[in-house]
C-alpha cells in the first residue's frame, strides 16, 4: 500500500511542473502586459516598471527565475497589491475559499448520496421520479444562472438571505446551493445507477437468502461495491467546486481566492494568476490522490495491480 501511495505522490511533481509551465507560457503569449492599463503611462515609465519587475528580460530567463522561486516556495509578488508576496494574497482568501468548498462538499454528499440511494431502493416509485427530476434539473442549470435565480427569489423578493458578502452564516446559504446543486445531481444519478446495478448481483441475493436483515444487506454488501463509481467522481467534483468558485465568489462578492483570481485576470497580475492556478492544480491533484487511495482501500485488486 505504501508503494502504491508513493507512486501517486511522485506523479504530483511533473503534473505541477507542467501546469506551471503552461500557465507561464500562456500568460506571456497574450498580447499586452500588466502595465498597459487605462491610466496614461509614458514609454519611459513602462520600461522602468518592466525593468523593476524583470519583465524586460528574455522569456527563458524569466522562466528559469520563476521556477527557481517555485522550488523554494516563492510564488513571486503581486503587481496590483503593491508588491505584496503572492503567498500573502492567497493567504488572505484561502480560509474563505476552503470554508466555502468544505460546506459545499458536505451539501453535495448529504443531498446526493441519500437521494440516489433512496431512489434506487424505491425504484419506479414517486421518490425515484422526483430524484430523476432533481438530477436532470440540477445538471441543466449552470451555477451562475442558479445563483442569479436564487438571489432574485430568496434575497430580493423574499428577503430571507443577504444578497452579497461574507461573515454571517447566512451568507453561505446561497453560494453553497448554487455551487453544489450540479455535483449533487450527478452524485444522486451515479449512486442510483450503481445501487441498481449491484442489487441484482448473485452475492446480494445470497445474502438475502441467508436471512440477513435488509439494512445489513444494503450496508455490508451493496454499499461498498456501489461506492467505487461514486468515489470516481470525487476528483471531477472537486475540480468543479474549485473552478466554479471563480464565478460564484464574484457574483456574491466573497473575498476568496476565486475572486482574487478574476480580478488578477483583468489587471494582468502575472504572479497572482500563476500562483492561484498552481494552488488550484495542487488541490485537484491532491483530491485525485485521495481518490486513488480510497480506490485501493475499497478494492484490493486495484492496490495489487498498482504494485
Residue 304 has pLDDT above 70, yes or no: no
Question: What is the structure's pLDDT at 41?
Answer: 56
For residue 176, what is its C-alpha cell? 453553497
Task: Assign 298 a pLDDT band (cuts: 50, 70, 90).
Answer: low
Cα dist from 50 to 28, 36, 146, 205, whole Å: 13, 11, 42, 72
Query: What's 131-188 look like in SS3?
Result: HHHHHHHHHHCCHHHHHHHHHHHHHHHCCCCCCCCCCCHHHHHHHHHHHHHHHHHHHH
Q: Does domain 93-266 have CATH number 3.30.450.40?
A: no
Lowest mean pLDDT among 8-17, 212-221, 258-267: 212-221
The pTM assigned to this predicted structure is 0.75
What tens digit of pLDDT does each residue of 147-182 get?
Answer: 888 888 888 888 888 888 888 888 899 999 999 888
Alpha carbon distance, N-terminus to C-terminus of the chain:
8
Question: What is the structure's pLDDT at 42?
Answer: 66
Highest mean pLDDT (candidates 81-95, 167-181, 202-216): 167-181
Q: What is the DSSP letter of 63?
A: H
Question: What is the structure's pLDDT at 21?
Answer: 92
The percent of the chain in helix, strand and coil, each rounded to the nearest 5, is 80, 0, 20
Backbone angles phi, psi at 136, to 5 degrees: -65, -45
What tens digit of pLDDT does each residue of 8-41 get?
Answer: 778 888 888 998 899 888 888 877 777 766 455 5
Domain spans of the chain, in order of start: 93-266
Amino acid at each position: 500500500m505504501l508503494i502504491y501511495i508513493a507512486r501517486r505522490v511522485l506523479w504530483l511533481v511533473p503534473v505541477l511542473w507542467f501546469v506551471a509551465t503552461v500557465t507561464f507560457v500562456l500568460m506571456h503569449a497574450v498580447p499586452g502586459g500588466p502595465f498597459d492599463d487605462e491610466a496614461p503611462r509614458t514609454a519611459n515609465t513602462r520600461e522602468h516598471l518592466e525593468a523593476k519587475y524583470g519583465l524586460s528580460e528574455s522569456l527563458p530567463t524569466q522562466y528559469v527565475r520563476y521556477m527557481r522561486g517555485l522550488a523554494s516556495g516563492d510564488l513571486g509578488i503581486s503587481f496590483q497589491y503593491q508588491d505584496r508576496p503572492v503567498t500573502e494574497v492567497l493567504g488572505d482568501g484561502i480560509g474563505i475559499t476552503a470554508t466555502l468548498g468544505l460546506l459545499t462538499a458536505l451539501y453535495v454528499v448529504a443531498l446526493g448520496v441519500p437521494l440516489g440511494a433512496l431512489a434506487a431502493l424505491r425504484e419506479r416509485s414517486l421518490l425515484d421520479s422526483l430524484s430523476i427530476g432533481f438530477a436532470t434539473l440540477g445538471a441543466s442549470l449552470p451555477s451562475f444562472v442558479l445563483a442569479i435565480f436564487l438571489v432574485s427569489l430568496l434575497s430580493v423578493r423574499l428577503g430571507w438571505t443577504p444578497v452579497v458578502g461574507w461573515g454571517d452564516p447566512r451568507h453561505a446559504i446561497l453560494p453553497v446551493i448554487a455551487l453544489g446543486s450540479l455535483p449533487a445531481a450527478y452524485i444522486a444519478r451515479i449512486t442510483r445507477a450503481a445501487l441498481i446495478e449491484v442489487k441484482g448481483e448473485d452475492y446480494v441475493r445470497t445474502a438475502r437468502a441467508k436471512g440477513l436483515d435488509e439494512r445489513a444487506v444494503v450496508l455490508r454488501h451493496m454499499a461498498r461495491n456501489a461506492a467505487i463509481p461514486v468515489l470516481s467522481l470525487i476528483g471531477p467534483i472537486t475540480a468543479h467546486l474549485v473552478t466554479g468558485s471563480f464565478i460564484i465568489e464574484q457574483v456574491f462578492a466573497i473575498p476568496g481566492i476565486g475572486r482574487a483570481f478574476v480580478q488578477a485576470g483583468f489587471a494582468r497580475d502575472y504572479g497572482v494568476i500563476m500562483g492561484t492556478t498552481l494552488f488550484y492544480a495542487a488541490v485537484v491533484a491532491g483530491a485525485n490522490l485521495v481518490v486513488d487511495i480510497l480506490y485501493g482501500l475499497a478494492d484490493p485488486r486495484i492496490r495489487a495491480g498498482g504494485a
